[in-house]
Amino acid sequence: MINMGNNKKMIILILIALVIPIIGMGVLFIGMNFNTEIKVSDNLEGNITFVSNRTDKSVEIEALIKEFEEINPKVNVTLELIGDAQSILQRKASVGELPDVTLVPSTISKNEYRNYFLALDDLGFNDSNIYNCFMGTGNDYSLYCLNTSITWQGIIYNKDIFKQANIDRLPTTIDELFQACNKIEALGITPIAINYRQSWTMDLWTDIIPHLFDNNLSNDVMNENRQIMDSNGGLYKSLSLVREIVNRGYAEEDLFNYDWQQFKNDMSEGKIAMAIWNSDFIYQLEDMGMNIDSLGMFPIPETNTIKIYGDYMYAVSNTTDNPDTAKAFLKFIFENNRYANAVNIMSPLKEDKETKEVLEKLGELNIPIITYSDYISKQSMEVARLEDEFLQIKKECGIDAAFVQKFIIEDDIDRLINEINLKWNEQINKSIDNDKNKVYTY
């Protein structure tokens, strides 16, 4: 005979066994932050301005703005599209007229962030969920800027042109790069575009590429008494490469009038084989109709590392009349990859699947890879101080896009090198004198 009491006990035990995992899963999901909820205040209001350099993505960005305004009907966001954002925003910063949500001019250094921008520590972004978070922190360790993407700098190339020119091996030395250029030139195709006219592409040759040639550049110059334009140093190697590309006739013919849009057209139409720029540019070419499978990228020959940097950074101007609204909008465009998806660039968020896949593929190049955050986290405070000093002296010496342009076309290059070495040494001596009057605490 069946014991009903035992059956009831058995049924209760089974139900408990079924309920416990469900409760556990509920707790698990509560504990996980999927960051999908848009947390905006019901009281947000006011007018703000938002600037983007992506003039080709006005429709997508306007849709993003409309979505935010629908959630916050008391808010009006005015979009400013600026192609040459660096130079224009630099001038605006100097007179305190940056847009509310602004791209960050590269001339503003980390120790100056607090003078121009509001801290963003309360938005929920940190090194655990966004790549290269430390690029946006100031010397006071507050977060002021967010990277729109993560990129690496190298040579983007047209695989079909390489095949047509019988280039079956990617160049790993500068001589091999020039040999490839000769083969491409024989086809009547421009081998490589440097985009001389654009300040942001020229900045690359002083800001990033020197450190790919020499990972210890700032230490070598600040601690080892090496000349800034030492022939074995990263800055000299970088500038000499771009100068030689032009002198050999491999670059665009009309340096002074060749604009960015014409370059993009020529690259997408197969009139140019290579460009030295960041990895996100591949997606711009895809937007213009190029088959992404026809595009590839390889490290600049003879550089010894791949550094994962951010792209343009966004910040909130400290002159904004509506700080809460501006910060809420900035958070909104970064959550769920909204801005990255709108302009078709790699997401800077660590949870993004596509970004993870790209980074895994980079590992196949068999060259050391380092993110900027990793680089910063391994620095001692003394090294960080020296690097800040290096960047400040570089700025005071005018080693920038205009200097690159001058270096490329200068007839008396030895005179120019001697001048910049002398100017650098003068600034170093001033810095040493100033340091004698400072007390550093670590």
| 278 and 427 together in one domain | yes
Question: Could you tell me if 232 and 291 lie in one domain?
Answer: yes
Same domain flag for 171 and 102: no
pLDDT of 433: 60
Report how far residue 189's alpha carbon sits from residue 169's, in angstroms, rounded to the nearest whole number.
19
**Residue 207 belongs to a domain:** yes
Q: For the chain, what is the largest distance between any 2 Cα atoms, rounded to a whole number of angstroms?
A: 109
Bridge partners of residue 309, in order along the sequence:
151
255 and 108 part of one domain: no
Q: Please report the pLDDT score of residue 31 as a whole number.
A: 34
- Give the integer Cα–Cα distance in Å for 222 and 1: 92
User: Are residues 286 and 415 located together in one domain of the fold?
Assistant: yes
How many other CB atoms are found less than 10 A from the CB of residue 379?
13
Q: How far apart are CA 193 and CA 161, in angstroms?
A: 14
Q: Are residues 205 and 346 in the same domain?
A: no
Number of domains into which the chain is organized: 2
The C-alpha atoms of residue 9 and residue 268 are separated, in whole angstroms, by 73
Distance CA(181)–CA(215), nearest Å, equals 27
Q: Please list, in sequence order, all residues whose beta carbon lies within 8 angstroms of the beta carbon of residue 164, skipping any fewer than 6 positions away.
A: 187
Distance CA 321, CA 203 (A): 32
pLDDT of residue 189: 99
In a domain, 37, yes or no: no
Query: What is the reported pLDDT for 184?
Result: 99
Return the residue matching tokens 């014991």: 3
The parent domain of residue 228 ranges over: 150-309+379-442
Q: Which three-class secondary structure state does DSSP give residue 233?
A: coil
E runs forming strands in 223-291: 272-278
Local structure of residue 32 (DSSP, 8 states): S
d(CA 416, CA 419): 5
The string of pLDDT tens digits covering residues 38-47 is 555 568 999 9
219 in any annotated domain: yes
Q: In this structure, is residue 392 part of a structural domain?
A: yes
Phi-psi region for residue 132, left (φ > 0), alpha (ψ -120 to 50) or beta?
Answer: left
Q: What 3-state DSSP class applies to 257?
A: coil
Task: Tell whether 373 is covered by a domain.
Answer: no
Query: Are 139 and 275 in the same domain?
Result: no
The DSSP bridge pattern shows strands 272-278 and 306-310 to be unpaired
Q: What are phi and psi of 277, to 5 degrees?
A: -165, -170
What's the confidence (pLDDT) of residue 42? Answer: 66
pLDDT of the residue at 26: 39
Q: What is the pLDDT of residue 301?
A: 97
Residue 403 and residue 355 share a domain: no
Residues 396, 428: contact at Cβ < 8 Å? Answer: no
In this structure, the answer to whether residues 317 and 433 fall within a common structural domain is: no
H-helix or E-strand spanning residue 192: strand 190-193
Q: Which of 127, 77, 128 is nearest to 320 (CA)?
A: 77
- For residues 116 and 141, state if they share a domain: yes
- Shared domain for 281 and 413, answered yes or no, is yes
**Whole-prediction pTM:** 0.77
Residues 208 and 180 in one domain: yes
**Which residues of the chain, if any, have pLDDT below 50?**
1-36, 439-442
Within a domain: residue 41?
Answer: no
Q: Give the torsion through C-alpha atoms of 251, 253, 256, 258, to 10 deg.
A: -80
- Pairwise CA distance, residues 392 & 398, whole Å: 10
Please report, for the domain that includes residue 190, its CATH number: 3.40.190.10
DSSP 8-state class, residue 271: S
User: How far is residue 211's CA from residue 142's CA, in Å, rounded to a whole number?
Assistant: 25
